Structure 1
């Protein structure tokens, strides 16, 4: 019961290396976007400016009723051979994800070498809009924007290999970072979570950070929250670690240990005395604990499992049945979240 709509996305991330090419005589694809218009698949492709020449470049667009025809149509509009081996980003629209034909999945195994740097992201808008705007920037602007947000922001780290593992593995669901445009500016703003072939849930940016804290090996990011009408906290997560333990009584113990730098604290708080430091630490711990648990409960009610609790359960039970786990066990899991904050240094003067 694998997910054919997801498999087809990998078609845009595969490449062969059978021939040798001179770099200034080919178009090296840096990013692609895929949209749907009725039954027609529309693809937008962007090439680095240093290959195409000086000045802003509009992306090349092509369309076809079948995926095989997309690349033929793209080649017909390109002045040089199109190579996909260095492609870093595939942007898919929500409409494409919901409507794409399952026949496209047939293409996935036609090549054997995958682009190791490729990342799949989703947009609620037109993928062409994202590609067109990014193509006006410096080469690889889009992939660097995504990488920066995965490293320092609220976007959980994903790439082609993560996606393949989520897609083929039992006991976990696919999630994709979301990008949108507003007033001519691109920004990462949340995560799309799947259950099977369906987009099940849209997480906002903060919920994306909570997922990141549970999934990433390197825990970094930035976080702001209010604890009252005039009580604002702003902090940078410098590093940390997480541990998830699924116990026999259906209780899930989640432990987070995060080292942070404070940028802003409420006016009536102080870090000069231990009592004030403890108050700030406890408020940050309480907020993160509460919000992470709320996000886990929301995911649980939707039936989606991007954290991979099913995978952890499978490791301990040889007779694991994915359908049975999500029907009978996952809805009854009780999440026990414990957060420990270590304040390493502060950028505030109080």
Structure 2
């Protein structure tokens, strides 16, 4: 007979004690995981929604994926009218043979009239749903949302618009505008929210700039080129592009060249908390330059510094113009109010709004051309 020493005996006792506990933990985890699973053939997955104002209330649209055999899916388009947006879901359910699930929702599109009346209630409703991803996208249409969603390319791909917005954030001029950011801008003190502005061109949808909000109400828009300036002010503008005008000293007509942002950094310094407040803005930008006029030589060591100085002057002027436009329209997508609030223990939202139009800003830019796109 083989005798166990004290250490071996202790190990055996430990295994007897811990093994059943381990099995219980594993089974509990499996049961919990199974509890949240659904068979896709027994539910309706909402992937895109739209909201419009109609004469007697709200019109809601939903694009739903109906999964068929072997992973194939058929898109279904539903429209319902209700007295208010809170009643739209119950009314939509009366048209369906399976329960709705919002875990795949990727986009909410607001018609222009709806957005001008305020979107806070809709955002609140989406935030309260724990199944909706904080990465979902939003947009404002230049007409009824239903008209944009009815464009054929959207009806064949329920994620076309959300993918388009995400792609233009990652590789284009759009600042980040997902549910997490929208929630922060909507409820953060001293800042206003902004969303992609969606239009139609030759029966195709396009992002035509940024919709700026005063509170939760759509107020005005800026162009897609100004969207890049806003993106620079808010953070890193990597991959954004813009055409910049330039002319030779003896020229009367302006030429232009294409610039890609390789990376950017913005710094804000509060000079005075006011009122009126005063803020210094400093932009640092690494850029790629290409498609320049024939008279420019990007291999010249003399022309590169001169071009950098021209770009610095351009961005200083354009950012100042963007800030002035925002002040004129009483919208604060940059978050100047939040910046002033962080430097003062006596900050008052109403007082800041009253003097927002008098906000003084100075802009300085430092541009470094790190690539020229020339061989």
| TM tier relative to shorter chain | 0.7 to 0.9
Q: Which runs of structure 2 are paired with 1:196-275 in the superposition (5 Å)?
A: 196-217=215-236, 219-228=238-247, 229-248=253-272, 250-275=277-302
**Relative to structure 1, is the Cα distance of residues 198 and 142 closer, same or farther in structure 2, using a 3 angstrom cutoff?**
closer
TM-superposed deviation, 1:20: 3.8
Deviates more, 1:55-64 or 1:293-302: 55-64
**Relative to structure 1, is the Cα distance of residues 69 and 315 closer, same or farther in structure 2, using a 3 angstrom cutoff?**
same
Deviates more, 1:78-87 or 1:49-58: 49-58
Is 1:278 aligned to residue 302 of structure 2?
no
SS in structure 1 at match of 2:366: strand
Distance in 2, matches of 1:222 and 1:337, equals 20
Distance in 2, matches of 1:22 and 1:182, equals 39
Correspondent of 1:24 among 41, 45, 55? 41
1:94 alignment counterpart = 112
Is 1:307 aligned to residue 334 of structure 2?
yes
**Relative to structure 1, is the Cα distance of residues 264 and 49 closer, same or farther in structure 2, using a 3 angstrom cutoff?**
farther
Is 1:128 aligned to residue 152 of structure 2?
no
TM-superposed deviation, 1:38: 1.4
TM-score by length of 1: 0.86
Is 1:174 aligned to residue 193 of structure 2?
yes
SS in structure 2 at match of 1:68: helix
Distance in 1, matches of 2:354 and 2:109, equals 32
Correspondent of 1:144 among 137, 159, 163? 163
- Higher relative contact order (CA closer than 8 Å, sequence separation 6+): 1
Distance in 2, matches of 1:156 and 1:145, equals 13
Name which one, 1 or 2, has greater alpha-carbon Rg: 2
Distance in 2, matches of 1:101 and 1:288, equals 33
2:12 alignment counterpart = none
TM-superposed deviation, 1:103: 7.7
Residues 117 and 217 in structure 2, CA contact (< 8 A), matched pair in contact too = no
Count of residues in correspondence between the two structures: 332
Deviates more, 1:218-227 or 1:317-326: 218-227
**Relative to structure 1, is the Cα distance of residues 114 and 217 closer, same or farther in structure 2, using a 3 angstrom cutoff?**
farther
**Relative to structure 1, is the Cα distance of residues 51 and 344 closer, same or farther in structure 2, using a 3 angstrom cutoff?**
farther
2:60 alignment counterpart = 43
Residues 29 and 46 in structure 1, CA contact (< 8 A), matched pair in contact too = yes
**Relative to structure 1, is the Cα distance of residues 253 and 71 closer, same or farther in structure 2, using a 3 angstrom cutoff?**
same
Distance in 2, matches of 1:210 and 1:75, equals 43
SS in structure 2 at match of 1:136: helix
**Relative to structure 1, is the Cα distance of residues 49 and 338 closer, same or farther in structure 2, using a 3 angstrom cutoff?**
farther
**Relative to structure 1, is the Cα distance of residues 51 and 145 closer, same or farther in structure 2, using a 3 angstrom cutoff?**
farther
Is 1:75 aligned to residue 93 of structure 2?
yes
Distance in 2, matches of 1:199 and 1:206, equals 20
Distance in 1, matches of 2:156 and 2:84, equals 31
Task: Provide structure 2 residue ranges, at least 5 long, that are not aligned to the other structure.
Answer: 1-34, 248-252
Q: Which runs of structure 2 are paired with 1:318-329 in the superposition (5 Å)?
A: 318-328=345-355
TM-score by length of 2: 0.80
Indicate the RMSD between aligned Cα atoms, in angstroms: 2.7
